[in-house]
Amino acid sequence: GHSSSPKDEL
């Protein structure tokens, strides 16, 4: 499936 957005923010 589609990948989720990278959690690079706090």
Partner 1 sequence: MNIFRLAGDMTHLLSIIVLLLKIYATKSCSGISLKTQELYALVFLARYLDLFTDFISVYNTIMKVVFIASSLAIVWCMRLHPLVKRSYDKELDTFRHYFLIGGTFVLALVLNEKFTLQEILWAFSIYLEAVAILPQLVLLQRSGNVDNLTGQYVFFLGAYRAFYILNWIYRYLTEPRFTRWIACVSGIVQTGIYADFFYYYFISWKNNSKLKLPA
Summarize as ranges the residues that interact with partner 1 (CB under 8 A).
1-5, 7-10
Give the position of tokens 């690079």: 8
Angstrom distance (rounded) from CA 10 to CA 8? 7
Q: How far, rounded to the nearest angstrom, does the alpha carbon of residue 1 sit from its chain's CA centroid? A: 13
**Nearest approach, Cβ of residue 1 and partner 1 (Å):** 7
**Nearest approach, Cβ of residue 5 and partner 1 (Å):** 6
For residue 1, give the DSSP letter.
-
**Nearest approach, Cβ of residue 6 and partner 1 (Å):** 8
